[in-house]
Amino acid sequence: MLKGLTEEKEERQRQLEGKKVANRDFARSVIKLAHMDTSYVSDISLLSEKTKRQLECEELRKGLQRIDDEFRLTRNSIASEQDKKLKHQLLCDAKARRDEKSSPITTRLSELESMHPDISREMTLPHIHHTKQYKTTMDQIKSLWNAKKSMPDPLMADLEIGKLLMSLGDEDKAVAYMTNAIRPFENTRNSMVEPTEEEMKVIKKSEDSRIYEAHYLLFHYFLKKKAWSRCEVHMSAYLAKSEGRKRIDALTYLEKILKKYCDIVEVGRTTPQRINDVVLGSKSLGILQDLRVKVLQELNTLYPNDPYYLESLGQQYVNLHEYDKAKSLLDEFVKLPGISNLPTFAQVLEYKPQPRSK
């Protein structure tokens, strides 16, 4: 009887401890959710200010461009003046007017760009090539072009030519060739002679590799150009071509790269309230963030106990105001051994899980 009472007491103690842990985890999950929501509010306020500064910089640059255009028109009209002394005076007057108008704009622009490097104008330095380097690259392009028709997979030449043109800075032509390289294989060597089964296996492997690489390169190109819609097309196609371990590596890589390029939201609004209105109305954080949500969802399915994916996806759901989904993930997050064993609520909030490496 004594043994039975002891066991009953131990069972009650276990239940009490279990209830205590469950209540603690529930509270931690709620506090974590509230903390994420506060972070989101803070982030969109910062984004709102950043967007305002970007718009101001844009207007200032347009103003400088208008002043410069006006000066060039005046200078061109002065060019026909025969009186050299008068011509010199008119040109000096035009420069003085230009400098007077542009000085306060340049000062304000410099202030904004020095205070906020993130909004400095993006400048692409021209590709500089020595004559020998340029000639070598052009020779490679000609060689590929001449060999194209005799290649098992002729479109592989387009991909290689595109890469070489990109190295020369001829981006428009490079993109055109890379885009052409996405097309499926066509037997252009001799329509009367079909490739053998073995040849088709080689061609198929080459085609898959070619299309995969072309989408990868174009995804990166349009990502840097901030052409989000085209970026989405190539990222989705790149992922669709990834299978097995290759897909897992691709997802892990895309999460890393999208996190680097994403703002908290990208909906083109300038006040926190308007940003929230757009997110609530469209259920979208912008093209890149929506892509990141899809990537995180798949990674979370693959690794349901990974704290980084649970927290990251939870934050995305908070940003989308989908609190039930976020709470469900955070319930799992606080139960993980590494987090559950943390003694204080503050440590749970401060804990920052690291992303998986490939």
Examine the domain organization and report whether 194 and 249 are in the same domain: no
Residues 228 and 316 reside in one and the same domain: no
Q: Which of 8-17, 76-85, 278-287, 303-312 has the lowest mean pLDDT?
A: 8-17
Count up the domains in the chain and report the number: 2
In this structure, the answer to whether residues 236 and 340 fall within a common structural domain is no
Both tokens of residue 80? Answer: 């026909």
At residue 170's C-alpha, the angle toward residues 168 and 172, to 5°, is 155
Residue that terminates a domain, selected from 225, 240, 255: 240
Q: pLDDT higher for 177 or 270?
A: 177
Q: Closest Cα partner for 306 from 342, 333, 325, 345?
A: 333
Task: For residue range 313-342, list pLDDT tens digits in order.
Answer: 999 999 999 999 999 999 999 999 888 888
Query: What number is the average pLDDT over the span 251-256?
Result: 91
| Mean pLDDT across 185-208 | 73
| Spatial separation of the C-alpha atoms in residues 352 and 104, rounded to whole Å | 45
Mean pLDDT of the chain: 84
Alpha-carbon torsion (67, 69, 70, 76), positive or negative: positive
Same domain, residue pair 255 and 319: yes
pLDDT value of residue 114:
75
Say how far residue 237 (Cα) sits from the centre of its chain: 16
What would the mean pLDDT of 58-75 be, rounded to a whole number? Answer: 89
Q: Model pTM? A: 0.73
Contact 154/144 with Cβ under 8 angstroms? no
**Angle value at C-alpha 47, between 123 and 329, nearest 5 degrees:** 120
Domain annotation covers residue 205: yes
Q: How do residues 35-57 score in pLDDT, each as one tens digit?
A: 888 887 787 777 777 777 877 88
Instruction: Identify whether residues 217 and 250 lie together within a single domain.
Output: no
Look at residue 187 and give its three-state secondary structure: coil
In a domain, 106, yes or no: no
For residues 93 and 74, what is the distance between their CA atoms, to the nearest angstrom? 10
**Looking at the structure, do residues 288 and 355 belong to the same domain, yes or no?**
yes
Judge if 324 and 280 occupy the same domain.
Answer: yes
What's the domain range around 345?
A: 1-52+242-358
In a domain, 157, yes or no: yes
Q: Are residues 141 and 190 in the same domain?
A: yes
Which of 220, 240, 260 is the last residue in one of the domains?
240
Residue ending a domain, among 199, 224, 240, is 240
Residue 143 counted as domain residue: yes
